[in-house]
Amino acid sequence: MGWTVPYLPTPPEIGRRMLKIARVGSGDVVYDLGCGDGYILIMAVKEFRADRAVGYEIREDLCRATLAEIERQGLQSRVKLVNGDLFEADLHEATVITLYLDELTNQRLKPKLEWTAKVGTRIVSYAYKIKGWKPTKKISRHGDTIYLYTVPESINQNAYNHFDKEKH
């Protein structure tokens, strides 16, 4: 089994706030890395009208329950669930990425985000920042903090330059 983070469900009001801060709407493809119960995925397509949502969850029991809920709500055509390691996620379609991990996992995930997230992708992290990145927005309310990052061209350019150097 890969890297795991303890499962703590994102409170619905926090999930809603995360999607609002990221300004999710039609045209968006929302990825939730470590999606747990899938609440953010379902909310993104139903309430915020995202085109699609994709979740990665390593725990089989959570995947089974989440898949059953997606099917119960008839959202199979708009919500995809991957029972797999978030570090293996294919992020090329993402316009918004939501995270409720921990600081160490965010740091481990940071190079993947830098290498694979498109310029302009909004990354929203609940409770834990991504060290070395400057948030576009930071919202604190009632002891909860949400960080919004917008992938800047300089991050992607540095990653591509590094990749080119490794090839030669």
Q: What is the pLDDT of residue 5?
A: 65
Residue 121 lies in a domain: yes
Burial of 50 (0-12, 13-18, 19+ CB in 10 A): buried
In this structure, the number of other CB atoms found within 10 A of the CB of residue 74 comes to: 9
Q: What is the pLDDT of residue 77?
A: 98
Closest to 104 (Cα-Cα) out of 128, 123, 134: 128
Q: What is the pLDDT of residue 3?
A: 52
Residue 3 lies in a domain: no
Q: What is the pLDDT of residue 168?
A: 37
- Would the pTM of this model clear 0.75, i.e. be above it? yes
Residue 19 lies in a domain: yes
The CA distance from 68 to 22, in Å, is: 27
Query: Torsions phi, psi of 74, nearest 5?
Result: 65, 35
Q: What is the pLDDT of residue 161?
A: 47
Residue 7 lies in a domain: no
**Ranges of the chain with pLDDT below 50:** 1, 154, 156-157, 160-168
74: alpha, beta or left, given left = phi > 0 and alpha = psi -120 to 50? left
Residue 5 lies in a domain: no
Q: What is the pLDDT of residue 111?
A: 93
Residue 4 lies in a domain: no
Here the tokens at position 89 are 């996620």
What's 125's domain CATH number?
Answer: 3.40.50.150
Q: Total structural domains in the chain?
A: 1
Residue 61 lies in a domain: yes
Residues 6+ apart with CB under 8 A from 88: 56
Q: What is the pLDDT of residue 167?
A: 40
The CA distance from 36 to 56, in Å, is: 8
Residue 154 lies in a domain: yes
In which domain, by residue range, is 152 found? 12-167
Closest to 137 (Cα-Cα) out of 150, 153, 119, 128: 150
Angle, in degrees to the nearest 10, between helices 103-116 and 153-167: 80
